[in-house]
Structure 1
Amino acid sequence: MTVQRELPLSPRPEDDELLSSWQGRVACRYDLIHDDLSRWLGVLRDDRCGGFTEGDFTPSAEMVQAWAASCRLPKERVQALALSSRPRSRSWYVWGEGRVAGAFRRPVCLACLDDDAAAGRDHHIRRPWALVETVVCSRHHRVLDEACPHCLDSSGFRFVVHEAAARLACVRCGRIARTMPQERRGGSADLFAAVSTLVAAAIEDQSAVRDRMLHVARLLWKPPRPRTGRRTPFVADVVPDLRLTPTAQARVDPAEPLATAPIGWRMVTLLGVAALLDLGSSTMRLGRLSFSLDQMVAWTDEPPQQVKERPLPMAVSSHAMTSGRSDSDYLAVAQSILASEEWRAAQGSNPPVRRRTLNALVDKALARA
């Protein structure tokens, strides 16, 4: 028989808060982490720590019921904090699992935390910060911070009680997360915000686009074939003057790079995805990368038909609708066009010029055939 326990002090969740953030704020009032409090409530029965999936994405019904009852909240209010109630898979969220028990290793906006403190509120981790495309705070227009502003360690933050309020503190040095008086600000926030907007629009477009974006992100991080002689994945070449290699970064899952990469490498990955798929004609602003999707596919031994650099249906002319030709005929025509000097010469042009060039090449090729 499960004993129902009530907590005398239980802050209410904020509307835009992650479930684990709210649980962390409640638990710190009792000098505990949220996993320890869950064990006391009888819904964690071993020594392991709950991860992103069971903590924020799909908490168990038993977990939701126990926390709702102990904090005197409607079960529906707690269940609404779960990310699985939204139209995204777990691959589109930053998991943010810290290496230390009870720690959150996810980027935060220090200015938003300052606003919380100034208003007399608890710090809380906003739900939008968990979206993979969020690298800039939409309110303060600054790149999110992943490392402690005091000791620059990136082990994560943990909730503590400070001056009668819940505050995020560095798990290494213990100091409260806040903006520094004379911090150095980079000039990349506008570019990152623009790329984030492009990616966000594509994510919300349709499932086929989302699947394609994830596939390209995984190709960017896929380990090289031994016979190529290459040691680093393609993501290392997205930014030409990047001095670090991906192998220097800890614990990036190549199968889920957007969910697990540090914020810097996540931004590099998003830049690569936007440029390779030309999201919102992003190559006009970002420029072309030194490699193509076809090269990535060949280099990682992926089947060529899974990823194509240019969707041909958008450029098919009226002659291409002529009946009486087989699929192999059209495939041969398309391959000859993509290999032609005229098409390669048009790659630096704007989209209307490229479309006109491709239409002319289609007409010419079909006439010859």
Structure 2
Amino acid sequence: MMVSARLPVAPRPFRDELLSSWMARVAARYGAEPLELMVYLAGQGGRDAGARQVDDVAPDMGLLMLWTKACRIDPERLRRRSLASRYPAQPRDWCLTETVPVCLACFDADVAAGRDAYLRGHWRLTEQVVCPVHRTMLLDRCPTCRGHLRLSLRMLNGLLRPFCRKCDAVLTGGGGEAEDPLKLDFAAGVLDLQRQISEIVRGDTGHLDRLEYAIRTLWAPLDRDGAARPVLALWYDEPGWNCPYEARAAVGRSAPLQHLSVRWRALTLVILHDLFGADLVPGAVLPEAALVLFRRAAPLPWLTDGQDLRKGKGKRTIDAGAERVHRLSKRPVHRSNGNFLDERGDFGRIHP
């Protein structure tokens, strides 16, 4: 009979740390990746559980028990580190599922405090684009190589430090991003919007429904056949504006913010404020500027109860609609499609 492994060294989780971050710190002590250590622990326990990572939002307690036994830690203490436990009112669609953006100033604070670097739990919340402590934009790109940030925790001078997997640059001691006054002003403004969105997300369901409707509509494809750009392309009011590649995965999705980088999520918050003012959500009567945009949204299941209003052919599945948009986004942009001179609207106060 196989017995559960006992790891001789296992750091304790920090109060605001992600579960996956703590597991990465434990694994790094043994020169391994979290999944490799999970496979080892699962093998020691006699179960084939190593093929899955522990979910930061709602972890599988069976997998969590492998870690609690190996690290000799109270299971309830780990369970409380899950996002579902910390933010019980946070819908799962408002938690990031892929790359976790980071705050370099927080990593610098870890260095100054003489502790391991770690990922904060609130960084995985979809509406979080600004660090509330340091009032700087979160980063999802490496400041050195500018590639999509894939973090690795490695030992440096006896403590774990964050590194970019692509270029091996250490992500501490920078701080250059926070010194630009324009970026600081922008981050401060977005931070206020971020706080309002957080209150809506965890507050009144009616306001949340209207907020999600507005975001889905902004990221719905335009109603012209062959157009693969989102409705918010019209907000730019620029002839020939093309949706950047990094944002195309969000077009036509039911939860677009989950598929967007930090800067595009921040821009979405700014557009909501532009269109709906301090409330950030549409009311009973849409402002004229919002009405101009929303009229141009292609009918999607989550916007029209599954009915294609143009063709009247019943329901279109979410997956089919998204696949069509992503397929079209790879084609060359025809001059008659999307946001060109004849597609521009008069936005008045938005673009004086």
Matches within 5 A, 1:154-173: 154-173=148-167
C-alpha deviation, 1:251, in angstroms? 7.0
Aligned-partner Cα distance in 1 for 2:233–2:205: 27
- Of 133, 141, 145 in structure 2, the residue corresponding to residue 147 of structure 1 is 141
Letter in 2 for 1:303: T
**Residue aligning to 1:252:** 249
Letter in 2 for 1:252: A
**Residues 275 and 289, structure 1, Cα contact 8 Å, conserved in 2:** no
**Residue aligning to 1:210:** 208
When residues 132 and 69 of structure 1 are mapped into structure 2, their CA distance, relative to the original with a 3 A threshold, is same
Letter in 2 for 1:56: D
Aligned-partner Cα distance in 1 for 2:115–2:260: 30
> 1:77-110 CA deviation, whole Å, 9 max, x = no partner?
0111111222212111122x2xxxxxxx221110
**Residue aligning to 2:114:** 120
When residues 281 and 207 of structure 1 are mapped into structure 2, their CA distance, relative to the original with a 3 A threshold, is closer
**Residues 153 and 172, structure 1, Cα contact 8 Å, conserved in 2:** yes
**Residue aligning to 2:103:** 109
When residues 263 and 296 of structure 1 are mapped into structure 2, their CA distance, relative to the original with a 3 A threshold, is farther
C-alpha deviation, 1:134, in angstroms? 1.6
C-alpha deviation, 1:205, in angstroms? 2.3
> 1:186-208 CA deviation, whole Å, 9 max, x = no partner?
24112211211221222232122
Aligned-partner Cα distance in 1 for 2:280–2:229: 28
Aligned-partner Cα distance in 1 for 2:174–2:22: 26
TM-score for both structures, normalised by structure 1 = 0.70
Aligned-partner Cα distance in 2 for 1:137–1:211: 26
Structure 2 unaligned residues grouped into runs of 5+: 308-347
**Residue aligning to 1:300:** 299
Aligned-partner Cα distance in 1 for 2:133–2:82: 24
Structure 1 position 233 matched with structure 2 position 230: yes
> Which stretch of structure 1 is more off in the superposition, 171-180 or 12-21?
171-180
C-alpha deviation, 1:117, in angstroms? 0.9
**Residue aligning to 1:91:** 93
Aligned-partner Cα distance in 2 for 1:298–1:235: 9
**Residue aligning to 2:341:** none
**Residue aligning to 1:270:** 269
**Residues 27 and 33, structure 2, Cα contact 8 Å, conserved in 1:** yes
TM-score for both structures, normalised by structure 2 = 0.73
C-alpha deviation, 1:182, in angstroms? 4.2
**Residue aligning to 1:129:** 123
**Residue aligning to 1:351:** none
**Residue aligning to 1:200:** 198
When residues 255 and 246 of structure 1 are mapped into structure 2, their CA distance, relative to the original with a 3 A threshold, is farther
Letter in 2 for 1:10: A
What SS does the corresponding residue of 1:65 show, helix, strand or coil? helix
> Which stretch of structure 1 is more off in the superposition, 269-278 or 207-216?
269-278
Aligned-partner Cα distance in 2 for 1:190–1:289: 28
- Higher helix residue share: 1
What SS does the corresponding residue of 2:154 show, helix, strand or coil? strand
Aligned-partner Cα distance in 2 for 1:196–1:190: 10
When residues 242 and 159 of structure 1 are mapped into structure 2, their CA distance, relative to the original with a 3 A threshold, is farther
Letter in 1 for 2:188: D
Letter in 2 for 1:129: W
> 1:284-303 CA deviation, whole Å, 9 max, x = no partner?
xxxx7844287347643533
C-alpha deviation, 1:245, in angstroms? 4.0
Aligned-partner Cα distance in 2 for 1:73–1:18: 16
C-alpha deviation, 1:144, in angstroms? 1.2
C-alpha deviation, 1:45, in angstroms? 3.5
Aligned-partner Cα distance in 2 for 1:164–1:170: 19
**Residue aligning to 2:17:** 17
C-alpha deviation, 1:258, in angstroms? 1.6
C-alpha deviation, 1:243, in angstroms? 9.5
Percent identity, aligned pairs only, is: 29
> 1:38-60 CA deviation, whole Å, 9 max, x = no partner?
1111078478563xxx4201211
C-alpha deviation, 1:256, in angstroms? 2.3
C-alpha deviation, 1:158, in angstroms? 1.4
**Residue aligning to 1:219:** 217
What SS does the corresponding residue of 1:123 show, helix, strand or coil? coil
Letter in 1 for 2:80: A
Q: Which has the higher contact order (CA 8 A, sep 6+)?
A: 2
Matches within 5 A, 1:320-331: none
When residues 189 and 250 of structure 1 are mapped into structure 2, their CA distance, relative to the original with a 3 A threshold, is closer
What SS does the corresponding residue of 2:155 show, helix, strand or coil? strand
**Residues 238 and 268, structure 1, Cα contact 8 Å, conserved in 2:** no
When residues 296 and 83 of structure 1 are mapped into structure 2, their CA distance, relative to the original with a 3 A threshold, is farther
Structure with higher Rg: it is: 1
